[in-house]
Amino acid sequence: MSAQTKTKARPAKKNKTASSIVWFEIAADNVDRARKFYGALFGWKIEKFPGMTDYWHIDTGGGEDTPDGGLMARKQPRQAITSYVNVESVAKSAAKVEQLGGRVCAPKTAVPQMGYFAVCQDTENNTFALWERNENAK
């Protein structure tokens, strides 16, 4: 099959937001111990996030198309690693979570000048977050 035929056989992609993982957060009982562990295991650079007192940026060393993450002190006993999934609208996606039998645990929240997120739980009690990029978030 030629490259031209392959191109014609595929349906055209809509210009929409890809629902891919764009960020992750690791909750830790001992942040320093977790920094040392993940730094030594994967070679990640983990440094204080500018302007925040208890949040660290995880630089995974990948390209622009790979997610970085955050490290923070555990706030709830069962809190684990949370993946942030890119969506066009946090509000619409949160409503769909509930329609499909999931639950919104933390409503739409602004991260100033970056975007909005909401923390959700799926039908199997797994936690994940929705992320909407928006530089005008306040």
Residue 6 has pLDDT above 50, yes or no: no
Identify whether the C-beta of residue 129 lies closer than 8 Å to the C-beta of residue 120.
Answer: yes
Under the banding of pLDDT at 50, 70 and 90, the label for residue 14 is: low
Fold match flag (20-81 vs 87-138): yes
Return d(Cα 71, Cα 49) in angstroms, integer: 9
Q: For residue range 48-85, list pLDDT tens digits in order.
A: 999 888 999 999 999 888 999 999 999 988 888 999 99
Instruction: State residue 64's pLDDT score.
Output: 87
CATH code 3.40.50.300 for 87-138: no
pLDDT for residue 16: 73
Question: pLDDT of 84-122, one tens digit each?
Answer: 999 999 999 999 999 999 999 999 999 999 999 999 999
Which pLDDT score, from 0 to 100, does residue 46 have?
Answer: 97
Residues 107 and 86 sit within 8 Å (Cβ to Cβ): no
117 close to 129: Cβ distance less than 8 angstroms: yes
In this prediction, residue 10 carries a pLDDT of 45
Q: How many residues does the chain have?
A: 138
| CATH entry, 20-81, from 3.40.50.150, 3.40.109.10, 3.20.20.370, 3.10.180.10 | 3.10.180.10
Q: DSSP string of 54-115? A: SEEEEE----TTS-EEEEEE--STT---EEEEE-S-HHHHHHHHHHTT-EEEEEEEEETTTE
For residue 11, is pLDDT > 90? Answer: no
| Domain range list for the chain | 20-81, 87-138
Coil, strand or helix at 34: helix
Q: What is the pLDDT of residues 25-50, one digit of tens each?
A: 999 999 999 999 999 999 999 999 99
CA neighbor of 59 nearest in space, from 39, 34, 81, 40: 39
Q: Name the pTM for this structure.
A: 0.82
N-terminal to C-terminal alpha carbon distance within the chain: 51
